[in-house]
Amino acid sequence: MKLWWVWFTAVQSLKSACTRKRTFFWLCLVLMGFTVRTDNAGVSSFIRALSLKPRCYASLLHLFHSSALNLDKLTTAWYRLVLQKFTPVQYNGRHIILADGIKVPKEGRKMPAVKRLHQESGNNSKPAWIMGHSFQALGLLVSSATGKLACVPLYSRIHEGIITTNRDKRTLLDKLAIMFIACTQDMAISAILVADAYYASQKVIRPLLKRGHHLISRAKSNSVAYLPAQQITHSRKPGRPRLYGRKIHVRNVWHLLDEHFESAPSPVYGEKDIEIRYLSYDLIWRPAGRKIRFVWVDHPHRGRIILICTDRTLSPLDIIALYSYRYKIELSFKQAMHTIGSYGYHFWMKDMTFPSKKSGNQYLHRKPEAYRAGVQRKLNAYHRFVQLGCIAQGLLQYLALHFHHIVWNHFRSWLRTMDKTSPPSEAVVAQAMRSSLPEFLLVSVQELNVVKFLMDVMESERYEGFWQTG
């Protein structure tokens, strides 16, 4: 029962995003629904999970479409809550933010921004092409007192599928850089962005460096770098001095400098008794327009990889360790998809024109103003749903990292791999919250206005938890 008190204390920080008290009550109900539901079938699953009256379905739909829940204020309030409740991982005084994209299958022909997307994956079970929404997301790397790491979802938005004006030439890389800079400004932090090779681009690196942030990524196999040009002090010709010296194909370093590689214990998160070989060298890279640090890593099990880092004060082993944390955002996506259901929305736009099955982006610059407003309203509904899913997942991670002993006491189930000495997964925390909810409602109904509101809109005779409690 203590878990719910801690949970509600944290949720109080989100009040500033709501213009009315009743809006905040519905927000709490949605977060509770994300936490305790057993299926991810859209808004109707909230009705089943909390045994709400059927008429509440329309009210929940209205919440996601209503301007009474300000999306920007909700996101900013969540940033502040994350910095207050979690312990961020820092290197050289900089926070670690992880970035990646996720493609969510959506086949509704009445859903704006749905387009044909290509999936690159080594998994044969995934189709090469899907219809769906393309998101880009940011997560903050945090740590528990025992050293357990997690990626707390901060922000996730649709960045493809809708073109509001034909003058908009921004790419996904431009939008990611804008999203990252806005996030760090709201949080008032300096950060290192850790992302895969897709984001190792001038469009990402230069905006970050301009504002004092840094990037750690993987270099593509066809990348080239340059040695600094030798400066000639006597009889120099007119014009700017040379910046770039000898060109180096980074993939050739494996053979040219093999004898210069050093050996060290693997700094990769979770690995023990494994030795890697690595080489580090600072070279000029054209996308950055300056010297950056290249790290060639030869792992006995994972193979070879070339990493780049714009912060040359970091040691090669620190760069390897930081890049190894990138998979944490992929684990966060897995929990968001299958446990929380953060991307399980099904909001259709009645007046939308049918796109073809092979359609790409939907252009709105020739559409009527009312149609464009309707599309934007629907996109905001998607983003509110996903943002609330991110918040619900982050609250579960907070309980897992800081109250794991209480979580295991309320788990009241069994897992073959359960370890009560370590923080549990989001699924275990959700089960503990689900099992302790009935007694919490009975005890706190006279103390919390949100619980009173829930009891008013709940069909208590339909709630199975009260049968077990009674």
Pairing type for strands 191-194 and 149-158 reads unpaired
Q: How many CB atoms lie within 10 A of CB 447?
A: 9
Helical axes 369-402 vs 2-11, angle rounded to 10°? 140
User: What distance in Å separates the CA atoms of residue 347 and residue 124, rounded to the nearest whole number?
Assistant: 30
What predicted TM-score, i.e. pTM, was given to this entire model? Answer: 0.94
Q: In terms of Cα–Cα distance, which of 36, 65, 16, 2 is closest to 454?
A: 36
3-state secondary structure 171-204: CHHHHHHHHHHHHHHHHCCCEEEECCHHHCCHHH
**pLDDT class of 89 with cuts at 50, 70, 90:** very high
Give percent helix, percent strand, percent coil of the chain, each to the nearest 5. Answer: 45, 20, 35
Q: 46 Cβ partners below 8 Å, 6+ apart? A: 29, 30, 33, 34, 37, 52, 60
Per-residue model confidence as pLDDT tens digits over 324-356: 999 999 999 999 999 999 999 999 998 888 777
pLDDT in tens, 252-277: 999 888 899 999 999 998 888 999 99
C-beta of residue 290 within 8 angstroms of C-beta of residue 284: yes
In sequence order, the β-bridge partners of residue 158 are 135
Q: Residue 324 — φ and ψ, nearest 5°?
A: -65, -20
Q: Would you state the structure tokens that stand for residue 19, as one six-digit string?
A: 């213009």
Q: How many CB atoms lie within 10 A of CB 236?
A: 10
> Is residue 45 exposed (0-12), middle (13-18) or buried (19+ Cβ within 10 Å)?
middle
Give the separation between CA 297 and CA 139, rounded to whole angstroms.
25
Cα torsion 446, 447, 451, 453: sign: positive
Query: Residue 466 above 60 pLDDT?
Result: no
Which pair of tokens denotes residue 323? 């890049």
Spans of all domains in the chain: 2-195+328-469, 198-229+242-325
Percent of the chain with pLDDT over 70: 95
Paired strand residues for 458: 52
To which H or E segment does residue 157 belong? strand 149-158
pLDDT at 124: 67
Mean pLDDT estimate for the chain? 91
User: Three-class SS of residue 305?
Assistant: strand
Q: Where are the beta strands (DSSP E) in 300-409?
A: 303-309, 362-363
pLDDT value at position 109? 80
Q: How confident is the model at residue 234 (pLDDT cuts 50, 70, 90)?
A: low
